[in-house]
A and B are shown apart, each in its own frame.
Chain A
C-alpha cells in the first residue's frame, strides 16, 4: 500500500542540495591542505625543511611516498612488504648509510584498487619526492605505472609480474624475479631432472599473474617435450575441487602443478591425495608463508619455486633475518618482506650515489646501481630491463619448514 508522502516543493529541494555540493568540496579541499600543511603530507614540506644534511646534497629529513596494497585482497602481501621495508629503513637510519639524512616512508593504501592507486600516484608525482615505491598487485601497479612514467618519477615496485608495468618506459623498476625465468631455471630443471614427461596443470583465472605463470609453464613444457594437461581454470574462490581434482587425475599426469593458494590450495591438495594421487605436487611461491601448515605431514615433499627463502646463505640475509626477528618478535620473513627490504636498499643506494633529490639524477643513479648490481637479502641482485634477475630457487616443504633444494 503506498501513500504519497507530502513532498517538499521541488525548488527548495534543489537550492538546499546545491549548497551541499560546494560545502563538501570546500571541506575536502580544506581538509586536505590542512593535513598537508601540518607537515609530512607531501615530500614537498619535508624536503623543504631540509637544507644542509652535513654537506651532502640530501636534506636532513627525506620522506618517500610508498603506495602499497595494505588492505583488500592483496593486503596480506602488501603488509608483508611493508614489514620488510620498515626493517630496511630502520637499518639505513641507524647505520647512517645516508650520512646525516633520516629516511622515512609515507604510506598510502591503495585498498588493492586501481583508481585509488592512480590517485595516490598522482599525488606522489606532484610532491617533490625524488623516488617512490609501488604496489604489489599487478592490476593496481598497472594503474600506477603510466602515471609515474608521465610524471617522470622513478618508482620501485615489487611482485607486479605483468609486463605492462615496465613496458611503458624508463622510470619503473621491479624487484621480483620474472616468472618465465623462474620457471625455466627452477621448476623446469626439477621436472627434467625427475624425468617427468607429463604435467597436470590447475590454474586460476583471477589475476594476470596467474595467466603469466601458466603461459610460462606451458611454454617451457612445450619446448622440452613435456605433455601438459590443463584441467581447467578455476577462480581462486572456487568451491568445487572434486571435479577439478578428478579431471586432473584422470589424465594420469606424472606430476601436478597448482596455482591455487591459501585455504583453497590446501583443500585441493587434500582432494588430490584423497582421490588417490600419489605423485609429486609442485606450485609457486604463493605456497610459502606457512600456507601448507594445515596439511601437516601430508604436505611433506611439496616443491615450489620462489625468489627468496629465509634460509638463504649470505651476509646480508643473515643481517636481515635477525633484524626482522628483533623487530617483529621472532618469526621468519616471507619473500614479500625480503623484496620490500631489497627495494628500499636499491632506492637508498641510488639516493646515495645521486647525492641529490633531483629526479633526473636519481634516475641515472638508479640505472647505474641496477647495472652494477648489489647484494640484497635475496642474494646477488642484478637487473635486466629494470626487472630483477633472480635468484631462482626451488624449495621443498618438509616438516613445517622450507628446505632449499637448489643453490642460487
Chain B
C-alpha cells in the first residue's frame, strides 16, 4: 500500500488540488449561490504563485498565502459587482469572468507568458503541506456547516422567501460565500502550480469550470464531503481503473453524472445517506411498528438567525 502512495504522489497531490477547487464551488452552492468565481481565483492564484516563485520573491508558503488572500480580494470585488444577480445568471456571469481571465492570460505576455504560460516553476509541493492545507479548509468549512451558520445557509438554499422573512440578508451571505470561494480557489491554484511546475491559459477555461461543477454535483453540494467524493471520483479513480479505456471512463462518468443530476439532487452523499436511513429503519418496519416520524429540522426559531 505504501508503495502505491509513493508511486502515485503526484496523483494524490492533484486530487487534493481538485478537492479544493471543487470546494470553492461547493461552499457558495451550499447556500444556493451558483458561482464559478472560484475557478477564476484558481487561475489568478496559479499565475501569482508562478510569478512569485519564478522570481524568487517568496517561498512556497508565502506564495500560497498571497494567492489565497488575493483570491479572497477578487472574490470580494466580484461579489460587490454581482450583488443583485442570482440563479443561473450568476453562474453565467462568473463563467464569463473566468473566460475573460483566460483571454487575458493568453494576451498579457510579459506577466503571464502568453499562450505558452509560465513554466519551470521550482517544485515546491509536499504531500504533507497539501494535506495540512486541506485539513484546515475542511475544519473551517465543516464548522460552518453546523450551528447557526449551518442553519442559515440551509435556509438560504431551500427557501429564500423564508430566509428574507426572517431577516437574513442574502446579499451579505452571498458576499461571504464568494470571498470564501475566492480564498479556497486561490489556494488551490497555488498548489496546482507547485505540483506541476507550470501554468497556462487552459487553467482558466470552460473545461476546467465544467469539471469543477461536475465534481460538486456528483458528490453532493450540501457538504465538503461531497466535494471530496466528487474529486476522488473524477480525478483519482480514472487513473487507477486502468482496465477501462479513457473513452469508456468518460462515458461512464457522464452517465453517472446524468443519473445523479436527475434522481439524486443531493449528490452521492445524499443518496448514500438515504439508503443508510432506510436500512436503519428497516428493522422497525419489519417488526410491524410504524416508523417514528423523522424530525424535520426546521430552521431554528427565535434568536440566533438574525445576523
Contact = CB atoms under 8 A, between A and B. Distances in A.
The answer to whether A and B assemble together is yes
Interface of A: 2, 4, 6-10, 12-21, 24-25, 28-29, 31-33, 35, 41-42, 70-71, 109, 111, 114-116, 118-119, 121-123, 126-127, 138-139, 142-143, 146-147, 150, 162, 164, 167-168, 205-208, 210-212
A24 B234 CA distance: 12
B119 A16 contact: no
A16 B276 contact: yes
Given A8-B294, A71-B247, A122-B7, A167 B115 contact: no
Interface in B100-117: 106, 114-117
A29 B123 CA distance: 25
The 3 A-B pairs with the shortest beta carbon distances in the complex, nearest first, are: A208-B116, A13-B273, A16-B276
Interface of B: 1, 3-4, 6-11, 14, 106, 114-117, 119-120, 123, 158-159, 195-198, 200, 202, 220, 222-223, 225-226, 228-229, 232-233, 235-237, 239-243, 245-247, 268-270, 272-277, 280, 294-297
B272 A17 contact: yes
A83 to B, nearest CB: 18
Nearest to A4: B158
Contact of B14 (A13, A119, A162): A119
A114 B232 CA distance: 18
A101 B257 CA distance: 46
A126 B7 contact: yes
A123 B240 contact: no
B269 A13 contact: yes
Contacts of B242: 31-32, 35, 41
B269 A114 contact: no
A164 B237 contact: no
A204 B273 CA distance: 50
A20 B268 CA distance: 9
A115 B46 CA distance: 14
B160 to A, nearest CB: 9
B202 to A, nearest CB: 7
A150 B10 contact: no
Nearest to A165: B119
A210 B158 contact: no
Nearest to A150: B123
A298 to B, nearest CB: 30
B117 A208 contact: yes
A28 B297 contact: no
A12 B14 contact: no
Contacts of B7: 42, 122-123, 126-127
A12 B1 contact: no
Contact of B198 (A17, A20, A114, A212): A114
Contact of A20 (B1, B240, B269): B269
Contacts of A12: 273, 276-277, 280
B130 to A, nearest CB: 14
B232 A211 contact: no
B225 A21 contact: yes
Contact of A122 (B10, B115, B295, B297): B10
B215 to A, nearest CB: 13
Contacts, number: 159
22 contacts: A4-B158, A13-B273, A13-B276, A17-B225, A17-B226, A17-B229, A17-B273, A20-B225, A20-B229, A24-B229, A25-B236, A28-B241, A29-B4, A31-B240, A35-B242, A119-B8, A119-B11, A119-B239, A122-B9, A126-B7, A162-B119, A208-B115
A123 to B, nearest CB: 6
Contact of B196 (A7, A70, A118, A168): A118
A362 B116 CA distance: 31
Nearest to B161: A2
Nearest to B12: A119
A384 to B, nearest CB: 21
Contact of A2 (B117, B159, B247, B296): B159
Nearest to B294: A6
A24 to B, nearest CB: 5
B229 A205 contact: no
Nearest to A162: B116
Contacts of B196: 114-115, 118, 143, 146
A114 to B, nearest CB: 6
A97 B1 CA distance: 38
Contacts of B9: 122
Given A16-B269, A211-B114, 9 more contacts: A6-B296, A17-B220, A31-B242, A114-B202, A118-B196, A146-B120, A146-B197, A162-B116, A210-B115
Contact of A16 (B14, B235, B272): B272
A317 to B, nearest CB: 33
Contacts of A41: 242
Contacts of B117: 139, 142, 208
A147 B11 CA distance: 12
B232 A164 contact: no
B294 A147 contact: no
Contact of A115 (B14, B106, B220, B296): B14
Contacts of A6: 294, 296
Nearest to B226: A17
Contacts of A115: 14, 196, 235
Contacts of B106: 205
Contact of B229 (A13, A21, A122, A142): A21
B1 A143 contact: no
B180 to A, nearest CB: 20
B139 to A, nearest CB: 14
Contacts of A114: 196, 198, 200, 202
Contacts of A13: 222-223, 269-270, 273, 276
